[in-house]
Chains A and B, each alone.
Chain A
Amino acid sequence: MSTPSRYWREIPQRYRLEANSCTKCKQKFFPPRLICPECGSRDLVKTKIAEKGKVISYTIIRVPPSQFKDQAPYAVGVIELDDGVKLMGQIVDCDFEDLKLGKRVKIEFRKLFKKGHSGILCYGYKFVPDS
């Protein structure tokens, strides 16, 4: 069994969506990077990302990986947040027929999966409709 270190290390991103931005070209990165791929600057500072955005693509996963088996079918989308940051996430609390491109969504804290019957619980962000 793997140790929880891999999960633990990502907590700032998973729980609080910590990002960073390039002090030179102002580009924002989620997850944070050590070097700006746009301008090559290594001067990046911690920042937060917008909590709302819109769906720019989505799919409904019907054949899931094993740790997501009990949740299928579920929707996964690529979201463009209001500050331009793009990230992937599940879209929940939304009936499949209401999913559409451009739909407004916001971040919500959810459990992503459990590591088997006795392993750690893995939390993070998902998206829900922003009404």
Chain B
Amino acid sequence: MEGIVGYGAYIPRNRIKVEEIAKVWGADAPSYKKGLILEEKSVPSPDQDTITMSVEASKNALKRAGIDPIDIGAVYVGSESHPYAVKPSGTVLAEALGATPEVHTADFEFACKAGTEGMFVALNLVKAGIVTYGLGVGADTSQGAPGDALEYSAAAGAAAFIFGRDKVVAEVLDTYAYMTDTPDFWRREYEYYPQHGGRFTGEPAYFKHVIGAAKGIMNKAGMQAGDFNYVVFHQPNGKFPFRAGKILGFSRQQIEPGWLVNKLGNTYSGSSPLGLTATLDIAKPGDNILLVSYGSGAGSDAFILKVTSRIDAVRNLAPLTRELLNNNKKYLEYGEYAKFREKIRKAD
């Protein structure tokens, strides 16, 4: 059966703590930390962007897959921070991996859901027999406006998945998509920072779609919360995934292995995909995993995965997600963070 043949993660080393941001804006750090269950977030260096992180995550996925990159027939990068407004990220990625020129490439954008979109399409091209291997990547270097609540969480990271038919480490048992037009978060063309609907991003947006997709796929597959060893939800903050889990009947233990947000922040298109790589890092053969993404605008993609016995052979062929999260960290002060994120107005 079709599924994931290789997966890889990438997280930049820089971090900034909630306190450091709160200090600048005169905000109350303890209440943010408690309210959002958020301690720090990752920050890209000036030489890192969606493209560079996609390349590194994909190289890690290739190490686990052990395939020849020339056999990859589809390369999809999902992001809301593609470095170019016009010019694909995917071409750089495909070229860097050595997958060109016989490859289909596209960039996806759907707020935080773009990563699972790429995965969805790559998987289905494999299923349709159109490509031997398909690569789907979720990556972002998201920006929250200075002083906005999003600034505490908007982070950087990437996760890549190669789908194929043989030597699968996790079979994809089912997929499902759920969406409506819900303007809870957006960024108009030529704008630098996004806008959002405040509390409107919760009930009618995140929860409606995450719960709708989770219920929909479980219904379709005839499975219940108790049938899963792990569940990964999109993680815009620390609180939302637990609340969604509770509504759906999942325990903290099912959520926690893939819950990275308190130390990572919201990596947007990389968020639930990185939750999945962290979960695969600890999963055992036979485990069932439910993945539900969320993207503002709004919608959710859901996947049911069954881990195979191959997982034990490939797990350590590339860095584990929590190693990337915890090792070689460098804490930034707000000034350096503002410089890295080009928030400082300079002379030409």
Which residues of A approach B to under 8 Å, CB–CB? 11, 15-16, 70-71, 90, 92-93, 95, 108-112, 117, 121, 123, 126, 129, 131
Contact = CB atoms under 8 A, between A and B. Distances in A.
Nearest to A117: B348
Contacts of A11: 95
B328 A126 contact: no
A109 B52 contact: yes
Nearest to A94: B328
B144 interface: no
B45 interface: yes
Contacts of A121: 49, 51, 83-84
Given A93-B13, A95-B330, A131-B327, A111 B98 contact: no
A130 to B, nearest CB: 11
Interface in B70-100: 83-84, 92, 95-96, 98
Given A70-B46, A93-B13, A126-B47, A109 B96 contact: yes
Nearest to A70: B46
B55 interface: yes
Contacts of A95: 330
Contacts, number: 49
Nearest to A12: B95
A71 B46 contact: yes
B14 to A, nearest CB: 9
A71 B339 CA distance: 10
Nearest to B330: A95
Nearest to A125: B96
Interface residues of B, number: 22
Contacts of B84: 121
A71 B47 contact: yes
Contacts of A93: 13, 45, 328
B301 interface: no
B117 interface: no
A123 B328 contact: no
B48 interface: yes
A15 B96 contact: yes
A129 B328 contact: yes
Question: Which 4 residue pairs spanning A and B have beta carbons closest together?
Answer: A109-B55, A15-B96, A110-B47, A111-B47
A123 B51 contact: yes
Interface string B48-67: 11011001100100000000
B56 A70 contact: no
Contacts of B328: 93, 129, 131
14 contacts: A16-B98, A71-B46, A90-B47, A93-B45, A109-B52, A109-B59, A109-B96, A110-B47, A111-B46, A111-B52, A117-B348, A121-B84, A123-B96, A126-B47
Contacts of A112: 47
Contacts of B51: 111, 121, 123
B48 A111 contact: yes
Contacts of B339: 70
Nearest to B14: A93
B75 to A, nearest CB: 13
B330 to A, nearest CB: 7
B45 A92 contact: yes
Given A129-B328, A131-B327, A108 B56 contact: yes
Most buried by A among B92, B339, B348: B92
A35 to B, nearest CB: 26
Given A108-B52, A111-B46, 19 more contacts: A15-B96, A16-B95, A16-B96, A70-B339, A71-B46, A71-B47, A90-B47, A92-B45, A93-B45, A95-B330, A110-B52, A111-B48, A111-B51, A112-B47, A121-B51, A121-B83, A123-B51, A123-B96, A131-B328
A111 B49 CA distance: 8
B56 A15 contact: no
A127 to B, nearest CB: 12
A28 B52 CA distance: 27
Contacts of B56: 108-109
A82 B210 CA distance: 48
B85 to A, nearest CB: 10
Contacts of B45: 92-93
Contacts of A129: 328
B216 to A, nearest CB: 38
